[in-house]
Amino acid sequence: MSCTKYYKKEAKDMARLNIVLYEPEIPANTGNIGRTCVATGTRLHLIEPLGFRLGEKELKRAGMDYWKDLDVTTYVNYEEFLEKNPGAKIYMATTKGPRTYTDAVYEEDCYIMFGKESAGIPEEILLENQETAIRIPMIGNIRSLNLGNSVAIVLYEALRQHNFDHMQLEGHLTKYEWR
C-alpha cells in the first residue's frame, strides 16, 4: 500500500513546515488544522486509521472552502510515513514532553507530529524520539488542549522562528487607511 497525495501545491524558495496528525479522530479538528495549514503554506500529513472519512461534511465545513487548496498526504500507518519521509526531523508534540515547544529550534522542512485526541502519540514512538519531544505548558491536571489549538500554537512558533517567511505581515482596512 502507498500513501495518497490529495493535492500538491508547489511553493518554491520558501521555508515549508509539515504538520503530522497521528490517527486523528475528530473531523472538525482536522478540518480546522487543514485550514491553518493552507493559511500558512504548511503541508499536512495524516497517518491512518482516521476516525472519519475525508469526504465528511464536518471536515469540509471546518476547513471551509480551503480544503481543495490543502497539500495533504495520507499514510496507511506510521511505518509508511517514516518510509516515505526518510531522514525527516520530527518533533513530537505531547503532554508528556520533557521540554517546552519554545525550546525547540525548528528547521526548514521539519515535521511536527501530534497524536490522536483520545490517546496522543504512543509512548513507544515518544521513547524513540525523546530528544525531540516537546510540550505546551499547562497548569493543573488538564489532560490537554484542543488539537487544533495545539497545532496553531506550535506551528506559529516555528513560523515565527523563520520570520514568517513568505507570509503577509500586515493587514489592510477595507474602507479606511491606517494612519
Summarize the annotated binding site as residue ranges: 115, 136, 144
**Grid coordinates in use for 170?**
500586515
- Which segments are annotated as binding site for S-adenosyl-L-methionine? 115, 136, 144
Angle between helices 147-161 and 27-40 (to 10 degrees): 20
Alpha-carbon gap, residue 138 to 149, rounded angstroms: 13
HSE-up of residue 118 (Cα within 13 Å, Cβ side): 6
Alpha-carbon gap, residue 104 to 112, rounded angstroms: 11
CB atoms within 10 A of CB 23: 20
- For the beta sheet containing 133-135, the strands, ordered from the edge strand earlier in sequence to the opposite edge, are 4-7, 72-75, 43-47, 18-22, 111-114, 90-93, 133-135, 99-100
